[in-house]
Amino acid sequence: MASQYLNPNPLGDHAKNGSPQILSYEHDGLRDSAQIREKTLPDQRFGYQTPATVAALLSVAIGFILGHHFYYQSLKGTVVLSEDQQSWSIRLGTGAAVFTKTALVALIGIAAVQRIWATLRRKAMTLRGIDGMFGIMGDPTWIFNSELLGHAKVLMFFAVVSWCVPLITIIAPATLSVQSVLSSTTVPSAVRTANFSNPTEWYTAEGAGRIVGPGAEISRLFTEVYASRGIKSMSPPFPNASYDLSFWGPSYKCSPASEIFDGANTPTWNTSDPSSLTTAPRYMDNILLVFAEGAGSPTTELICQLYNTSYSLSISFTNGNQTITPNSITSFAPAAFPDTIGRTSLLTGNGSATFFVTHLLFSKLLAADIILGASGGLSFKSNNASTSSISLTDSAIPYCPDVAGAFRSAGVEYFNNTSACRNGTLAKAIEDLSHNFTMSTLSYQFWDDGSASATVDLTRLFPENRYAYQARTLWITYGVAFGVTVFCLVLGGIALRENGVTSSTAFSTVMLTTRNKDLDVLASGRELGSKPLADDVAKVKMRFGYLIGGDGEGGHVGFGLAGTVVPMGRDTER
């Protein structure tokens, strides 16, 4: 093979001409490569610039990662003061992510450069393949080059990593978000309470003020309570708030009639056929006599006494929805006064009008018969002519086992939902209804005049925009990117050790490593370097190493055609 080469010792016998001499000769192959490598060796040493750059970039990346975390951590849970503040917090986080990305990609690029030169020392590649190695970090289309897939897998890994690392600029800033949370503040506030000394619209009266029945508004409220089997909601002071409230009001306390009558009628063993017994009068002092009986079922006999009762409640509102939790409901003194005193309470001003009307409402509800006809039909009969508008069947009372048992004994399917009787017995159901009614008076509209107001410590909950920070996601994102980058640096360090020098893809490096007459011949007529590269040139295989002279003697280090280069050091064709 005929070739022309530069004399490796241009300052020898031909130095008198002032320029290197061109030698022409034939050679059949390469001589012992070890002897050739012992010839003129280039200065092999590591520069400090690349290691210093790597150290600086690592410091920059670590600094911005830590800064990003601590900045977001300082915002976590704090109030978003303005839209502008929110925008700047995201901008600063994005800036930290961009600088981190820039440092990591630069580090991968430095490692990739060392890998390029290590690969070119070990393997002969076509000029097109070499173009791909120098261009793949900035041009993803080179990933489809089959020669790179076969001979530069590590370099392609570097390239893919460098393309994926910028994803941290999307994920990391998004770990800071704004969430609407409920914050609280506790301040003394005026809230609604019950005022049973104010009977406004509680009654209908005749003459000078004798009460004859409940008023329309309080009757409507009572109907809502027993029909809904719950507590009527009042207007919330705030959509989300909570407070404790205490007040006095009426309630019923029910006991078996036998317990009451056994105490009222003392047995006399020496008296036969007494002409009379102590019995309850027709108009008892606000007492309900309740009898629940039916064919084939046990009879329940109750006496329910109206009491003045202390209510201690915890009231809360969540998005305007009311929840009342009784802390304690304690019955104290019986509200035991005759019917005549209750009906004239407006005239005497004794303050018992609301208690008396409460008793009238319950009396009218419970004084009724539920009749099962021979054909299985169900009918309702009030025992009081003034109660035609109040239906016992609309309440939870008939579902109590004391009442529903008679229908089950008859083999019919009425009132089978015993869970509607929340407390399980008729006595507890009546007491529960009285509690619900009293607590529902907190919503009574005719107490909106300020007469039913109390000052309490109210805890107000209000929506507030606060920063939320997903630290785990940020650390995973940066940790993966940083870890893969360090792995690339390790591979780059191994390549650097193989190279023996810190290499680069700078023009000066390319110029210094392509001093070769063979390449001059190859470039003849193509000095402009235009694209696309001609196939006959693109397919020429080249390698970096010790160039061989025409007589087989060693030359300088650089790129040469395959077959004219001896591997450097321990490099082999792999």
Query: DSSP class of residue 339?
Result: H
Please determine, for residue 47, whether its predicted confidence score (pLDDT) is greater than 90. no
Beta-carbon contacts of residue 276 (< 8 Å; ≥ 6 apart): none
Q: How confident is the model at residue 165 (pLDDT cuts 50, 70, 90)?
A: very high
Instruction: Categorize the per-residue pLDDT at 29 as very low, low, confident or very high, splitting at 50, 70 and 90.
Output: very low
pLDDT of residue 485: 96
Q: Above 60 in pLDDT, residue 469?
A: yes
Please state which of the ranges 313-322, 463-472, 485-494, 518-527 shows the lowest mean pLDDT: 518-527
Report the pLDDT value the prediction gives residue 387, as an integer from 0 to 100.
Answer: 44
* Positive/negative CA dihedral, 77, 82, 85, 91: positive
What pLDDT sits at residue 567? 72
Confidence at 573, pLDDT banded by 50, 70, 90? very low
**What mean pLDDT value characterizes the chain?**
78
Omega into 532 within 30° of 0, i.e. cis?
yes
The stretch 286-296 carries a mean pLDDT of 69
Q: What is the pLDDT of residue 242?
A: 95
Which residues, listed in sequence order, are joined to residue 334 by a DSSP beta bridge? 307
Region 497-524: what's the mean pLDDT? 73
CA dist., res. 266 & res. 263, Å (int): 7
- Write down the pLDDT at residue 214: 92
- Asked whether 477 and 518 are in contact (CB, 8 A), the reply is no
pLDDT at 27: 41
C-alpha angle with apex 435: 430 to 440, nearest 5 degrees?
125
Cβ-count burial of 47 within 10 angstroms (0-12 exposed, 13-18 middle, 19+ buried)? exposed
Closest of 23, 100, 47 to residue 479, by C-alpha: 100
SS (H, E, C) 369-423: EEEECCCCCEEEEECCHHHCCCCHHHCCHHHCHHHHHHHHHCCCCCCCCHHHCCC
Above 80 in pLDDT, residue 194? yes
Q: How much is the average pLDDT of 515-528?
A: 70
Compute CA distances 472 → 175, 418, 562, whole Å. Answer: 9, 52, 52
**Bridge pairing between strands 565-566 and 321-334:** unpaired
CB-neighbour burial class of residue 206 (10 A; exposed 0-12, middle 13-18, buried 19+): exposed
- Amino acid 137: pLDDT: 84
Task: Please report the pLDDT score of residue 456 as a whole number.
Answer: 96
Percent of the chain at pLDDT above 70?
A: 74
Least-confidence region, from 40-54, 204-218, 541-555: 541-555
Q: Tens digit of pLDDT for each residue in 200-247?
A: 999 999 888 899 999 999 999 999 998 888 899 999 999 999 999 999
Q: CA-to-CA distance for 562 and 10, rounded, in angstroms?
A: 24
Give the pLDDT score at 282.
Answer: 39
Q: Identify the residue with better confidence: 117 or 186.
A: 186
| 161 contact partners, CB below 8 Å, separation of at least 6 | 108, 484, 485, 488
Between the alpha carbon of residue 561 and those of residues 518, 519, 564, the distances in Å are: 7, 8, 6
Residue 489: enclosing H or E segment and its boundaries? helix 471-499
Mean pLDDT of 563-573: 61
Task: Name the most confidently modeled range: 64-73, 77-86, 381-390, 461-470.
Answer: 64-73
- Tell me what pLDDT residue 281 has: 39
Pick 193 or 299 by higher pLDDT: 193
Instruction: List Cα–Cα distances, 157 to 102, 118, 136, 167, in angstroms.
Output: 18, 15, 11, 16
Report residue 8's pLDDT band, with 50, 70 and 90 as the boundaries.
very low
Q: What is the pLDDT of residues 380-398, one digit of tens each?
A: 555 554 444 456 767 777 7
- Does position 2 have pLDDT exceeding 70, yes or no? no
* pLDDT of 276 strictly over 60: no
> In the prediction, which pLDDT does 287 show?
81
Q: Which residues of 295-334 are buried (b: 16+ CB within 10 A; e: fewer)?
A: eebeebebbbbbbbbebebebbbeeeebebeeeebebeee
Q: Assess whether pLDDT exceeds 80 at residue 324.
A: yes
Q: What's the confidence (pLDDT) of residue 42?
A: 57
Q: Choose between 76 and 142: higher pLDDT.
A: 76
Lowest mean pLDDT among 99-113, 146-160, 360-374, 408-422: 408-422
- CA of 204: how far to CAs of 335, 383, 463, 524, in Å? 21, 20, 46, 119
Statement: residue 518 has pLDDT above 70: yes
C-alpha distances (whole Å) from 389 to each of 57, 214, 280 are 86, 12, 28
Confidence of residue 263 (pLDDT cuts 50, 70, 90): very low
Q: Any residues with CB less than 8 A from the CB of 215 and at least 6 apart, and which? A: 201, 202, 203, 204, 357
Task: Identify the residue with better confidence: 126 or 281.
Answer: 126
pLDDT for res 30: 44
Name the most confidently modeled range: 307-316, 381-390, 460-469: 307-316
